[in-house]
Structure 1
Amino acid sequence: MKIFDLHADLAEAIKPFYTDGKTSILKKDWSTRFKQGQIAYTSAASFFVGTESWQEMQDVVMKVKNDITVSGYKVIYTKDDLDDEQQGTAFLMTIEGMCGIHEDVEEKIQWLYDEGNRIGSLCWNDQNALATGNSGDPTRGLTELGKQAIAKMNELHMIVDVSHANEKTFWDILSCSTQPVIATHS
């Protein structure tokens, strides 16, 4: 049996090791868990609470991607990377919250995609320049910048994750997106 875990806060779990300069954290500390759980594929969510800058977002994304590759794992870029003969665990990179994006939306979404992220949520529980999460103003949903983000994600076929969006944001995304969306967790 092959299991695909669509939501693992791995970036949050390995973040404390970043400051110590450690690498291959996934291989050293997680490979046994992946084997025991028969996890063939998992997401590697770069999680942001709502206070991080764009630079901080980039830093986390790069550290997650680096740890995946130096640990000897594969990043999933396309459906062709979902191999029936897959040995070990492969990672689907995701973004949970885009709080650091306040401008240059299309360029920044493109950068996230180019770095391997294939699923992204515009907000966590926060209210940011793109959208409103569960803890934000219930009458505020997707912003104009958020609509630009959705359009760029649709163009790239980067899946929009509606997890943590408030109800207004959820419905705004559904009315705006031209591609299917996903709720990886709730």
Structure 2
Amino acid sequence: MIIFDAHCDTITKIMELNSNLYSNNCHIDILRLKKAGNCVQTFAAFIAPIYSPAYAMKRAMQIIDRFYSELEIYKDDIMLCCNYNDIETALSQGKIAAMLSIEGGEALQGDLGALRNFYRLGVRSVCLTWNYRNEIADGVKDEETGGGLTPFGRQLVAEMNRLGMLVDLSHISQRGFWDVMATTSKPVIVSHSNARKICSHPRNLYDDQILAVAKNGGVIGINFYPEFLNDEGKAFVKDIIKHIEHIVSLAGPDHIGIGADFDGIEKTPEDIKGIENISIVFEEMAKLNYSDEIIRKFASENFLRLVKDME
């Protein structure tokens, strides 16, 4: 079985810790990814607010440069993948299939040319906002103003559709979410967000948003952060399952996947320490009589479908 995780912040984390991607004390490293099985891992270039707006693009370039450096050092174990054929090649060679995303569209600094250059560097998805307002839209922490997509944001969505990049709606305001859904001609992702009906955190999706993603053909990645899993702040695999069950009950099994947010979260569920424990989720689904077909869709096939359709 292939495992596809749509979001982690591991590159930023190893930069902070002066560590490396092969073996570390983070949630993800190459050794544990390879032990987990056939893995497709999306690595995000996260633009922290301290770098915005003046140094957002520079920060993105620094993170992407470190990503490339790690891939060069460990090229026998991991490979940059820009499309579905690359993923097949990497996995057939026993390598981790690494995809690249940007978390925080402020990295573009309002320039479609920057988007195209990031695409040339291998970026295949952009999380339009983090929690705050940028040139594209309002983030979830600024949504009380009612701001949605800006004129540049609409141009950006159209250009991402044209290029074959996944528009990521985690962190965006509700108005921004609905503006994108009215603008995009391609399926979107919500790479690391959960169901607000199960946990009331503002980063989670309302039921009508979940249904809209399903109608659009998109995929939602379940986030493993306890604060997004329940209202108690301490979580277990059973809490992940509750979000899976709710989303599947609304949208069916074709619109859900994994977006664990490893190394971007301060804590994990009590029974999941990192990528090495990811199989526990599949085992729990099997105990609840989820079919192998549905488990495979959740583990990777839904996100892989979108990658395949990007071309």
TM-score scaled by structure 1?
A: 0.88
Q: Secondary structure at the match of 2:44?
A: strand
- Structure 1 residues without counterparts, runs of 5 or longer: none
Aligned length: 180
- 1:155, 1:169 → 2: CA distance? 20
- 1:179, 1:3 → 2: CA distance? 23
* Letter aligned with residue 46 of structure 1: A
1:50 matched residue in structure 2: 49
The alpha carbon displacement at 1:46 in A equals 0.9
* Letter aligned with residue 47 of structure 1: F
- 2:64, 2:31 → 1: CA distance? 24
Whether the aligned pair in 1 keeps the contact of 2:131 and 2:171 (CA below 8 Å) is yes
1:150 matched residue in structure 2: 157
Cα RMSD over matched residues?
1.7
1:159 matched residue in structure 2: 166
- 1:123, 1:81 → 2: CA distance? 28
Whether the aligned pair in 1 keeps the contact of 2:129 and 2:172 (CA below 8 Å) is yes
Whether the aligned pair in 2 keeps the contact of 1:7 and 1:184 (CA below 8 Å) is yes
Whether the aligned pair in 2 keeps the contact of 1:6 and 1:43 (CA below 8 Å) is yes
- 1:101, 1:129 → 2: CA distance? 9
- 1:114, 1:38 → 2: CA distance? 29
The structure whose Rg is larger is 2
Which of 97, 103, 106 aligns to 1:99? It is: 106
The alpha carbon displacement at 1:149 in A equals 1.4
- 1:7, 1:171 → 2: CA distance? 22
Whether the aligned pair in 1 keeps the contact of 2:166 and 2:188 (CA below 8 Å) is yes
Which of 81, 94, 115 aligns to 1:109? It is: 115
- 1:85, 1:60 → 2: CA distance? 28
1:69 matched residue in structure 2: 72
- 1:42, 1:101 → 2: CA distance? 23
Whether the aligned pair in 2 keeps the contact of 1:154 and 1:179 (CA below 8 Å) is yes
- Greater CA drift, 169-178 or 83-92: 83-92
Whether the aligned pair in 2 keeps the contact of 1:10 and 1:46 (CA below 8 Å) is no
- Structure 2 residues without counterparts, runs of 5 or longer: 194-311
The alignment status of 1:4 with 2:4, answered yes or no, reads yes
1:32 matched residue in structure 2: 31
Whether the aligned pair in 2 keeps the contact of 1:50 and 1:123 (CA below 8 Å) is no
TM-score scaled by structure 2?
A: 0.54
* Letter aligned with residue 155 of structure 1: R
Whether the aligned pair in 1 keeps the contact of 2:79 and 2:95 (CA below 8 Å) is no
What percentage of aligned pairs have identical amino acids?
A: 27
